[in-house]
Chain A
């Protein structure tokens, strides 16, 4: 129950009690008043009775009109008073009725008395009847008077009894009401103490706790009244306070952070300026809106402007008008999006030339990620650009040259091919008719002549072989390479087998490493290995314990193949020349050959994108290395 409700009830009860008391008091007062009035009536009647009696006697002694009138008046007065009196109960009514009737009877009697005296005035006083009648009447009157007094006295007594009773009630009621009032008052205090006093103490104690800084304190008073409401209001307030305090702390922290960042930014700005004036690039700074706020003197000197002219957006001042708009657009786009800035600009320099400047910039962000500034450099790339142009020009030239070279290479190959082909026919004619001639004059020929024809024959054969080699060479150069996985070891083995079959008498020790493979053109590799192994075979002819190897080594992660022999070897200083077509490092008499073999090998290897080189020692042996791309 709410306290106010309790107090209201309290007040209500008090009011009720007071009202009841009031009513009772009023009622008793009124009762008393009435009773006093009745008392007065009764006393009036008693005294009236005596007066009537006296008047009666007075009339009897001297029957005059005045006492008669006064007696009538008195009787009327009394009856009037009776009539006017407020009757409170039946007893009173009865008594008053009796008194009234009595008075009426007395009146009538007095009337009789008066009329008898009236008529008797003239009568002598001596008539005994009249005297007896008169005495009877008088005695009756006294009886009536006595009754009157008696009734009136009873009435008075009754009243007094009543008044006393009322008084008793009243004097009982006062202390009782007093007690009730005290009881109510005590209850009132109890309510105040219990429902208000104690909780308030709790609340103020709690308030102190909160006030001392403990914003986590909650009252937890759950009573369903004003105290409870106040307590929960307090709790909400405390919660809110806590929130505000936390956000205030956060805010303070943020402000601190921002101050620190700004200081740091200022510090770095200073450093940037310092650096900008020191380094040989054009350093610059802009604010968050893209307005230039610093640019190093190097740049200013280059373009021949002052900082006043350059700042904000003035740095486009000396650029050609058509370049400015797209440049600005791009710069503002970067400022807006925060993307790194890069742009090339052309400025006229005081030295009369136009300089190309490469400008690069990056945004500087604060802790919230907002762009506060831009920093960047301007590089003079005029020279670089010129170099670029030159390089491009040279490159184009190179390509052209390459194309030309390739073309002439192709032309040469075609030339070689057709020449070789065309050389064949005449050679055949020579050889053919030489043979015929030999047959024709066979009987006329002496040894010398026979020898001459033999030499002619040899010459033709040699030339035929040369032509074949040339054709081979040119064919290989023109051939397209079709790569597959080839087993080099197997190819080498079969070549060696053929060589042995062709010259079964020779005793050559051969080592071929197993499982050597490569991605290459099978046919061409066969030709190359055939040449290399064939050479090794040939040049070990004069070696006692001939030894040939086909093996691999690894260098820089690449496979290097090699064919080694311990034959005649060669002078290392001519190692470069030996790969040229027809170049021989041994005279014709010592080892036969056209000198085309290694040229063919070189073409094959080159066609695969590889390299071939040789190492040799005269009389000790030779090793031909090659790699394939």
Chain B
């Protein structure tokens, strides 16, 4: 199960399509804000094989969610890959510093996106 945390449902949909385009059998669960994401993770979701976390979210930001995850004994070990449309180097460093397992910038083209996700999956699944 791959857990996607992103404030835009459209982005979640696109990401799901891109994941499916890799050819793997995957189950996707999602949350559209940090708070509910954490709630789900802590209660009843089950341990995801991978978390794909967006940075820019209203309310609790991706970084904050990441910190929460990393400070929570039960969730600490989970692989969290930050995927964001941001091209800023500083965002990458901040994410890594906050404990992201990996960082990926969302490309424009869907095909490219799928390829990039493939590498991530190969790495972290």
Contacts and interface: CB of A to CB of B under 8 A. Distances in A.
Task: Specify whether A and B are partners.
Answer: yes
Interface of A: 421, 424-425, 427-429, 431-433, 435-436, 460-461, 464, 468, 471, 475
A432 B14 contact: yes
A442 to B, nearest CB: 14
B101 to A, nearest CB: 23
B87 interface: yes
Nearest to A431: B108
28 contacts: A421-B86, A424-B85, A424-B86, A424-B106, A425-B8, A425-B11, A425-B85, A427-B108, A428-B11, A428-B14, A428-B85, A428-B106, A428-B108, A429-B10, A429-B14, A431-B108, A431-B109, A431-B110, A432-B17, A432-B110, A435-B109, A435-B111, A436-B17, A436-B110, A460-B108, A461-B108, A471-B87, A471-B88
A475 B14 CA distance: 28
Given A428-B106, A431-B109, A436-B17, A468 B87 contact: yes
Contact of B85 (A421, A433, A435, A475): A421
A464 B11 contact: no
A421 B111 CA distance: 21
A589 B96 CA distance: 42
Contacts of B8: 425
Interface of B: 8, 10-11, 14, 17, 56, 85-88, 106, 108-111, 113
Contacts of B109: 431, 435
A429 B87 CA distance: 17
Nearest to B10: A429
Contacts of B113: 432
Contacts of A432: 14, 17, 110, 113
A461 B109 CA distance: 9
B55 to A, nearest CB: 10
A469 to B, nearest CB: 11
Given A427-B108, A431-B110, A432-B113, 13 more contacts: A421-B56, A421-B85, A421-B86, A425-B8, A428-B11, A428-B85, A428-B106, A429-B14, A431-B108, A433-B14, A435-B111, A436-B17, A461-B108
A328 to B, nearest CB: 66
Nearest to B7: A425
Contacts of B14: 428-429, 432-433
A89 to B, nearest CB: 164
B35 to A, nearest CB: 21
A475 B11 contact: no
Contacts of A435: 109-111
Contacts of B17: 432, 436
Nearest to A417: B88
Contacts of A475: 88
A430 to B, nearest CB: 9
Contacts of A431: 108-110
